[in-house]
């Protein structure tokens, strides 16, 4: 049946639509931190549909909210008042840390980043955008135009002039050998030099932890230092929280808060985990930025009643059960367990991350050279052991990505770490 479905998939869907595994997997149902495939095999899920199943599979509170809302009304568009949309916007505005915040809902992180770019360029009357090397911001025409990872940017054509800044990767590049303070100072000097050679940009867009790039991050405080430079020039800071938001990093509710002593971002985007599988994305911005557009607009599917009901139930569960604290505690145990396991595997260059957002970089032993074949082999071996993980990476690297639902318990963390250790040790 799976081979038949794979043939049908290939017959009608694009060739560039990636599938994991030599024998692609059809996931039929899930519960908690586990999923099952069409053959009845059970897996511990350490990727959550690309960090989207944030709390748990089939979380009763969310499924109940979706079912009850579906029995009333599913959708009406933004042309009508929408109580669940207003209620979720109020919660997110209060949590964002942005003063006088306004919230606009979209259907994905790509669309959220696209909207943030629209707002920033319209507000600043500039189509120049600063972005980070090794970044990923989505697959729309504007989003691929600011993505600093060639593997995910299929065209150089763009409505924007994009300039790329150092700093998103701590252990690679020309400043990697510096201490944290000197690294930040060098990146700020690079930013200042760049600004001296270009027209005033609209904004800098940055992921606090680079997701598709392999869960890489700068030292804490880099974006605060950048913000000081940007603020003096009126340049906006867009924090792309599509993967880092909602407490996944454990230490902070938003990734930007590790860099926040100069204030919150001007614009923040979010998506993925808030819907726990439902299609929710969005933008938070100060009112004068959000309201700068001088034409009418609507969203047909952004903020539908059914997705907003799911988001509210999911956010309530996250906060009431302190899943941020759980990500900090269980994630801390998991990363130390993985570092101990990787210490005996020459192909592992680095285990990095925070909370339940962990990257394992695979290279040819004794070098910094990427080894995508070995990374793929570990992915396969983990699946054979009953564990689903992700992969990514920039700078020609191959990284495994570990990002379980935030309700992961200690026993499941130990189980997953043991499977992944065996997969790593299977490297020839």
pLDDT in tens, 75-84: 999 999 999 9
- Mean pLDDT for the stretch of residues 275-303: 96
220 confidence band (pLDDT: 50, 70, 90)? very high
Residues of the chain within CATH 3.40.640.10 domain(s) are 64-320
Residue 155, pLDDT score: 80
**Token reading at 374:** 């070995």
- Do the beta carbons of residue 338 and residue 419 sit within 8 Å? no
User: Is 260's pLDDT higher than 90?
Assistant: no
Domain 2-59+322-425 in CATH 3.30.70.260: no
Pick the CATH number of 64-320 from 3.40.50.300, 1.10.3080.10, 3.30.70.520, 3.40.640.10: 3.40.640.10
User: Is 308's pLDDT higher than 70?
Assistant: yes
Residues 6 or more apart from 254 whose CB is under 8 A from it? 96, 97, 208, 239, 241, 244, 245, 268
Which among 401, 425, 416, 420 is positioned nearest to 346, based on CA atoms?
425
- Mean pLDDT for the stretch of residues 173-191: 96
Residue 199, pLDDT score: 87
| Cα–Cα distance measured from residue 214 to residue 319, given in angstroms and rounded to the nearest whole number | 27
| Cα–Cα distance measured from residue 131 to residue 154, given in angstroms and rounded to the nearest whole number | 17
Residue 397, pLDDT score: 66
**Token reading at 65:** 């909210």
Residue 395, pLDDT score: 58
User: Is 151's pLDDT higher than 90?
Assistant: no
User: Is 60's pLDDT higher than 90?
Assistant: yes
Give the CB-side neighbour count of residue 233, counting CA atoms within 13 A.
19
Residues of the chain within CATH 3.90.1150.10 domain(s) are 2-59+322-425
User: Is 387's pLDDT higher than 80?
Assistant: yes
């Amino acid at each position: 049946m799976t081979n038949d479905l794979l043939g049908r998939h290939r017959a009608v869907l694009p060739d560039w639509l990636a599938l994991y595994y030599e024998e692609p997997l059809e996931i039929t149902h899930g519960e908690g931190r586990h999923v099952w495939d069409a053959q009845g095999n059970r897996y511990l899920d350490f990727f959550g549909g690309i960090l989207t199943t944030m709390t748990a599979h089939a979380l009763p509170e969310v499924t109940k909210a979706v079912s009850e809302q579906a029995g009333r009304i599913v959708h009406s568009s933004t042309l009508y008042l929408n109580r669940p949309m207003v209620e979720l916007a109020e919660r997110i505005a209060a949590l964002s840390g942005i003063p006088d915040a306004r919230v606009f809902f979209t259907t994905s992180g790509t669309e959220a980043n696209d909207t943030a770019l629209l707002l920033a360029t319209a507000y600043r009357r500039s189509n120049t955008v600063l972005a980070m090397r090794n970044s990923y911001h989505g697959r729309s025409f504007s989003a691929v135009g600011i993505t600093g990872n060639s593997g995910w940017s299929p065209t150089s054509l763009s409505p924007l002039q994009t300039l790329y800044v150092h700093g998103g990767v701590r252990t690679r590049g020309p400043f990697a050998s510096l201490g944290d303070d000197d690294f930040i100072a060098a990146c700020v000097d690079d930013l200042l030099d760049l600004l001296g050679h270009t027209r005033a940009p609209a904004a800098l867009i940055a992921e606090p932890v680079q997701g598709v790039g392999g869960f890489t991050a700068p030292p804490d405080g880099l974006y605060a230092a950048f913000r000081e430079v940007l603020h003096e020039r009126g340049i906006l800071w867009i924090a792309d929280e599509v993967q880092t938001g909602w407490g996944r990093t454990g230490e902070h509710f938003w990734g930007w808060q590790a860099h926040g002593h100069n204030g919150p971002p001007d614009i923040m985007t979010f998506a993925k985990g808030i819907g726990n599988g439902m299609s929710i994305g969005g933008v938070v911005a100060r009112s004068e930025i959000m309201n700068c557009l001088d034409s009418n607009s609507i969203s047909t599917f952004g903020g539908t009643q059914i997705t907003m009901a799911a988001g509210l139930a999911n956010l309530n569960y996250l906060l009431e059960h302190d899943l941020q604290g759980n990500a900090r505690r269980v994630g801390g145990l998991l990363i130390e367990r993985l570092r101990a396991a990787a210490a005996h595997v020459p192909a592992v260059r680095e285990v990095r991350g925070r909370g339940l957002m962990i990257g394992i970089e695979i290279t040819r032993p004794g070098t910094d050279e990427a080894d995508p074949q070995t990374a793929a082999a570990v992915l396969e071996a983990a699946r054979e052991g009953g564990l689903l993980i992700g992969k990514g990476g920039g700078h020609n690297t191959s990284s495994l990505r570990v990002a379980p639902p935030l309700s992961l318990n200690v026993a499941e963390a130990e189980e997953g770490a043991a499977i992944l250790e065996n997969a790593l040790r299977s490297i020839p």
